[in-house]
Chain A
Amino acid sequence: MIALLRKDRPWMRSVIVGGGAVMTVVQMTTDLRETWALPPIEMKGLFTVGWIWGLFLGLAASVFDEKLGTRELLEHRPLSQRRLHASRVLACAVVLAAWNFLPSLLRLGIAALLDPQVLAIRPELITYVWLDLIPCTSACAIGLFVGAFPFRLRWRVAISLVLLYSLFALISWCAEPWSNEEQAAIERSRWIFANLHLATALAFVLASFAICGSRRDIDRPLPPRMRLLGVGSTVLTATLATTFAAHLLEGRHSVELQRKFPAIVRTTRGAFALVRDLPLRQGPMGQSIHSAEFVDEEHRPRMLGAERIEERIAQLPRPWLTLPSFGAPRLHWRTSGGYLESGMYCTLQLREHDGRYAFRSFGKGPDGTPFAADAVRVAKGYRSYDSGPLHLVFERSSQSLWKLDSELGSFVPLALPNGDTLIDVDSSATPTEFVGTQVVYSWRNQEFQPVRASGRSEIIAPKPKAPLLRAHIEKDLLSPSHQIFDAAGTLMFEHAYAPRTSSERRSAGLVIAWSFARPPALSVAGHLGASPMETENALIDPLVSGGRRTWLVALHLLFGALCAAIALWRLRRLGADRHACWFWGVLTLLLGLTPLLASLCFERRRAWSRGPAIEPSVPPRIVSAPAILST
């Protein structure tokens, strides 16, 4: 097997050098301390470079002889296909090992040359580099597996990309850290991430052994093993990708629809109204652009005139369905998530760009006293480019304002100028206004600037939030309903939304149409199992989740059966064997449209053709008896 590597040496050398150089450059772009001295940051670049090169490596190893035209030369030797394939796997392993060590060593070597007094390097941190390079291994295994498919190269590249995207998205989803708080959660999620990738790599390497040596022959049906493993995995991942795409498209069309979903507000006159597009978006300077359009219960646009919005009661969250993506596990810092958790500590993210040791507890003063429960972050819209975002916390109960001093690592009290006393912070204004007893200030150029005289002279106790109204929203992509009850539980307002105008109906129709691209089996599972409004999970159809729209599930099932019938009818006509019929029948019944389309691609007429009519065999015109040689 080592002898077989002799032929692979040239490409191994160039791939090691090429990939290694890119990885070194990517490593150079991160600060040495951040990678090798402190707990390392996530190297997104390394991750991306890793999977691209890994996939390339796997495909290259798999198709090298085929594309060089030396496949027959290689195969005509007394070695089994498995041995030949094992040598490919070995070549990949050597390259991967080189990639895991050489760029790091090179990077450290360059650093040592540039600065001989390199600070304390912790060699054990290479595991974090490996963590970002692990997708390289699984991508390589996927490349090896798909490279052995007996299809055209461009198809193989496409299939490998589908496989890689779906599986990586799935792994990233499984390894998603659900808690933003703890380092331990991140460690656990990294552990899951690494192990899932290794398991994937192992599975694909084993699968590649099972299908290695299959030759492309479009005049013959696919070998059963190739169909089961190769085509099966392709169809499954393609279904996954289609589901993601359907999810995204459903989301896009439903967002079209729900731009018209209004918020419920109470106007100054005390009437309830549905208000559309409130607030629309953040302006470039951080200000909100309000463009309120009032609609009545039949949601026909009607201007509300001089009426103002007194209170916003409820707004349907927009179900922005996101496409699953993949990446190394990292903290997902949700900036809207709030700075203050349980009122105890203000935890701040110092480095927002990576989310590494992102969580630190800060309190009042150097000893870090916790804030009171009613502390809120203020200073909306303040961002100076030299000092970074402004972190101001207003503790209402003590009427004190605190500013983060990032050098001290704690909040320091901030007093209004001229001995003025802070009585309120008006967060609704942009920029935020600080109301003193005499003057209203805004924060500009690192200090308070007077805006106008304050109308209020005394400290106003914060208006207790009147728990007067309770809104109940039945979330749904197409027909959400709102109910508003008062404190006593009396229904005060009710509105059930349904698409009414033709453009709304069109959008709704598209949402439903796209749901047919999802596999019927998942539709049933989501219908029976999932909670009502799943928008995070792309695998579950929000239209039917939580027992809604049974008729749609039935239609989905019917559609699956129709797909299966079409696939089977076609295969019968082509004269496919039982194995192929069973395979595609089951897949289309469960997964619907994608396997049907795949069966059109993978089961070609030529492969099942019975060939020309059998002619009576014509004996050669000149024939002599088999010569018996006397030797």
Chain B
Amino acid sequence: MSAPIEFEDVWRWFGSQVVLRGLSFRVEPGQVYALLGRNGAGKTTALRILLGFLAPLRGRARILGVESEQLGPAQRAKIGYVGEDHRLYSTMRVRDVVAFEAGTRPGFRRDLVATALARCGLLEKQRVRQLSRGQRAQLCLVLAVATTPELLICDDPALGLDVVMRRELLDALIDLLAETGCSVLLSSHFLQDVERIADRVGVLHEGRLIVDATLEDLKRRVRRATWMPREGAAPPREAQILRAARRRVGFELSLLDADEPLLERLRATGELAPLAPCSLEELVLDLTGPEEPGLLRQPLSSFAERGAVEVRS
């Protein structure tokens, strides 16, 4: 079976603003792929391209074996999609929403939805516009998985949800995975959730994928350490040093595949604290955050003095 999702050097720009610069990755069958990155990194654009709502300007995205622009009813039937804003027809009641979906999607399992709704505490007579954000998100997910899709695409499904709602959402997703073994591509800002559920993560930064690795790999290979240089030496510019953040004393280094030669080199010019593991949150912060912590809180004038804020990718 070919990969359900495949991006091949996808470029997209809006006028002079380039949003995706040669995005390439693939999601294997049964995999849960989490697309991470800051706001505006291009996650939503990538997902919209994938679903055929937006055209790639270069390269191509394939989904379930077809070009995303040629996505037809046969493929859409196998894809569940939860959009970023959990949009539903606001005048409908919950039962209308369910009836609407049931009438327009073959293979829609009403029994499944009924039990799921009961579990979420959603009443059939409630109006969509009276639902809270979390309830809407839940409803959207329930509807998306009610056709038991082969592929589920979620654009930041947990955005704006409280911690309980987020866990409920996670449970629904886990149920789906346990039941169908479908592939999932999701974008999210909630890295703790991602750590629980993702098999593989991709980190998008300024339109480029800077990480495309399994979660285990990532955690095993990236380590952090505090390094205090002697006589004000600068941290060496090496590919293995993902980021060197200046601290009150010394630097906080994020090291990729730290091997002995590298550590030796670092020890030669400074004092290296023992390596510590790194959580996903720290990792994403290291990769996509500004060079120095606290930079974003400085007044804008100091940016002007520095010139452009250089963010390493």
- On A, residues with C-beta under 8 Å from B are 2-4, 6-7, 10, 68-70, 72-73, 75-80, 215, 217-220, 606, 611-612, 614-615, 617-618, 620-624, 626-629, 631
Complex Cα gap A602–B44 (Å): 28
The count of chain B contact residues (Cβ–Cβ below 8 Å) is 67
Complex Cα gap A611–B57 (Å): 8
Q: Are A612 and B242 in contact (CB under 8 A)?
A: no
Q: Write the nearest CB–CB distance from A201 to chain B, whole angstroms.
A: 27
B96 contacts partner chain A, Cβ-Cβ < 8 Å: yes
Complex Cα gap A627–B26 (Å): 11
Q: Are A75 and B209 in contact (CB under 8 A)?
A: no
Pick from A611, A623, A629: contact of B11, CB below 8 A: A611
Collect the chain A residues with CB atoms within 8 Å of residue B212's CB. Answer: 620, 622-624
Cβ contacts A to B, 18 pairs, < 8 Å: A3-B102, A6-B99, A7-B92, A69-B87, A76-B76, A77-B76, A79-B73, A219-B12, A219-B57, A220-B55, A612-B21, A620-B210, A622-B211, A622-B218, A622-B222, A624-B212, A626-B28, A627-B31
Q: Are B72 and A623 in contact (CB under 8 A)?
A: no
With A217-B54, A611-B58 as contacts: A2 and B77 at CB distance below 8 Å: no
Within 219-249 of B, Cβ neighbours of A (below 8 Å) are at: 221-222, 239, 242
Q: Are A623 and B211 in contact (CB under 8 A)?
A: yes
Complex Cα gap A7–B48 (Å): 23
Q: Write the nearest CB–CB distance from A631 to chain B, whole angstroms.
A: 5
B188-209 vs A, CB cutoff 8 Å, 1 = contact: the mask equals 0000000000011011000011
| Chain A residue nearest in CB terms to B199 | A627
Collect the chain A residues with CB atoms within 8 Å of residue B250's CB. Answer: none
Q: Are A617 and B13 in contact (CB under 8 A)?
A: no
Collect the chain A residues with CB atoms within 8 Å of residue B48's CB. Answer: 72
Stretch at the interface among B103-111, B112-120, B266-274, B300-308: B103-111
B296 contacts partner chain A, Cβ-Cβ < 8 Å: no
B214 contacts partner chain A, Cβ-Cβ < 8 Å: yes
B123 contacts partner chain A, Cβ-Cβ < 8 Å: no
| Chain A residue nearest in CB terms to B28 | A626
| Chain B residue nearest in CB terms to A83 | B73
Collect the chain B residues with CB atoms within 8 Å of residue A215's CB. Answer: 53-55
Q: Are B87 and A78 in contact (CB under 8 A)?
A: no
B82-106 vs A, CB cutoff 8 Å, 1 = contact: the mask equals 0101011111100010011111111
Q: Beyond the given A629-B29, A631-B30, please list 6 additional residue pairs across the A-B interface where CB-CB is below 8 A.
A: A3-B100, A217-B55, A220-B57, A617-B9, A618-B313, A621-B256
| Chain B residue nearest in CB terms to A84 | B104
| Chain A residue nearest in CB terms to B103 | A3
Most buried by B among A7, A78, A218, A617: A78
Collect the chain A residues with CB atoms within 8 Å of residue B85's CB. Answer: 69
B261 contacts partner chain A, Cβ-Cβ < 8 Å: no
Q: Are B22 and A617 in contact (CB under 8 A)?
A: yes
| Chain B residue nearest in CB terms to A616 | B22
| Chain A residue nearest in CB terms to B202 | A620
Q: Are B18 and A627 in contact (CB under 8 A)?
A: no
B163 contacts partner chain A, Cβ-Cβ < 8 Å: no
Q: Are B14 and A219 in contact (CB under 8 A)?
A: yes
Q: Are B81 and A76 in contact (CB under 8 A)?
A: yes
Pick from B11, B79, B203, B209: contact of A76, CB below 8 A: B79
Q: Are B104 and A76 in contact (CB under 8 A)?
A: no
Q: Are A70 and B88 in contact (CB under 8 A)?
A: yes
Pick from B22, B76, B213, B242: contact of A78, CB below 8 A: B76
Collect the chain B residues with CB atoms within 8 Å of residue A220's CB. Answer: 55, 57
Complex Cα gap A623–B287 (Å): 13
Complex Cα gap A618–B22 (Å): 8
B36 contacts partner chain A, Cβ-Cβ < 8 Å: no
B290 contacts partner chain A, Cβ-Cβ < 8 Å: no
Complex Cα gap A220–B12 (Å): 10
Complex Cα gap A620–B214 (Å): 13
B279 contacts partner chain A, Cβ-Cβ < 8 Å: no
Pick from B14, B76, B91, B210: contact of A621, CB below 8 A: B210
